[in-house]
Structure 1
């Protein structure tokens, strides 16, 4: 079982260093782990490629290392450090990430413009996140989710802050294919009012990544407690959203930029909706054609 806190991870490291340890790590991997344990605030906000470079190892070495420690992927390992940082300091998630991109020793007018190298690095990290998301997909759970989304009387989608963009996209795309899909809760009525509209036959999709919002976690917990099906799209199986969900899909978020990467979330949502369109067949096609007809009517009126 993977360590859930930084303290548990430290105890695991102590056992690794003890004579006769049954878990063998190479010297370079062990040195990289020790270095990361000594700098939790850096690990919490730094991409796997940058950490590997600083430690003098390949990113694949860190990936193998975290799997040996019991984590499914690097995002789940990094979540331990992010949770520790959230507990021990004021909110600095975004500024800490942005700090990697800013040379504070230079004046604003002396800093060089962003280079193609940085753009390439971000693109490669996003590509790696998408590949990791695909590798971790549970196909049976994916097919079950498509069936749920096709057959549930009502589907609601919920995400806040950056995840709101993904939630809005998913609700819009699904609403093109079937009826009674929307974001959870009218802004003027609140989330509780939105949950009262749902029954045990309905589905709530929650989207979020570290640092998690209390509102999203609470909505998932309440929905699960009332017997509703909860589908989580999040950054780790250790996410508090995953703890409340019937089904969880993981989209890694590690990136050089100053917030969570959403590329893997976007690709997952597009793929999920493509599968749903295929599952709904003529029903979905009829819904799309009706939508197109209404667009033409609105454009004609304007």
Structure 2
């Protein structure tokens, strides 16, 4: 038998619990724990009895391990792994992916992202802004980069932050009334994200927030808030809806700017041709 645990019971991710208490497990429990670690990505495809067979231990030993790690039973272990996925950690807990179901889930996410009442407000703000700063960290940065690349085709004075090797303080120092900041913050955001949103608003800029539903605590800090689902049926988050959303925003800005936007597109295309920067094809 393993030594009794002091209260409170083990907490944290299951792999952290196993690592922290591995030396306090019995030899049989260690074997069972090692099997859990080997199958964390597909635990939902097994029953507790099947895991016991894989580990070469009894069902009682497997159940005792769950309790030693602070779980009531195997169902609670599965719920724990699903909670990790909800927080943004890549984790497959539903067996082999159903790609047809994934396509349907992507379509639902895109529909939700593109039918929000705040979308026209975001377009109007970006079309009329004196300057635009698009900011995104980590997995939000490619979405921010894509939005900036599209907006700059339609209007001038569109900046991206943070740039490699730079902070955002200098960008905030230039903000004021008439400027718009687009803060893109999908889950697993850096801790300073909320401070950045607050500082952008305090500088006098209008703030457009694009984030997944886990950013609820930041919504009240924005003038316009757009939520965009990123969790699908696969291990990693999907940004299909996010990319569709920024594409629709940029399209709306181009339409809102009318002749000025079209003239800018033509001027940029002419520069490409003169500099031979892009391929041409017929």
CA distance in 2, matches of 1:161, 1:276: 26
1:203 to 176, 180, 186: 180
Partner of 2:220: 243
Tell me if the contact between 2:185 and 2:215 (Cα under 8 Å) persists in the aligned partners: no
Unaligned residue ranges in structure 2 (runs of 5+) = 1-73
CA distance in 1, matches of 2:165, 2:267: 29
Partner of 2:56: none
1:93 to 89, 94, 113: 89
Q: Deviations over 1:32-84 (max 9, x none)?
A: xxx999965244355xxxxxxxxxxxxxxxxxxxxxxxxxxxxxxx6xxx3xx
CA distance in 2, matches of 1:167, 1:296: 26
- 1:298, CA displacement in angstroms? 1.1
Tell me if the contact between 2:154 and 2:262 (Cα under 8 Å) persists in the aligned partners: yes
- 1:188, CA displacement in angstroms? 3.7
- 1:218, CA displacement in angstroms? 2.4
1:120 to 57, 75, 100: 100
Tell me if the contact between 1:203 and 1:228 (Cα under 8 Å) persists in the aligned partners: yes
Q: TM-score if structure 1 supplies the norm length?
A: 0.61
1:41 aligns with 2:37: no
**Structure-2 change in CA distance of 1:282 and 1:230 (3 Å):** same
Tell me if the contact between 1:206 and 1:231 (Cα under 8 Å) persists in the aligned partners: yes
Partner of 2:203: 226
1:285 to 252, 262, 265: 262
2:152 to 175, 185, 191: 175
Q: Deviations over 1:143-168 (max 9, x none)?
A: 22212111111101011111111000
- 1:185, CA displacement in angstroms? 4.2
**Structure-2 change in CA distance of 1:36 and 1:269 (3 Å):** farther
Q: TM-score if structure 2 supplies the norm length?
A: 0.65
**Structure-2 change in CA distance of 1:228 and 1:282 (3 Å):** same
Question: Secondary structure of the equivalent of 2:177?
Answer: coil
CA distance in 2, matches of 1:239, 1:158: 18
CA distance in 2, matches of 1:185, 1:161: 10
Residues 1-302 of structure 1: matches in 2 within 5 Å? 40-45=79-84, 82=87, 93-94=89-90, 97-98=91-92, 100=94, 118-135=98-115, 137-138=116-117, 141-236=118-213, 238-299=215-276
CA RMSD of superposed structures (Å):
2.8
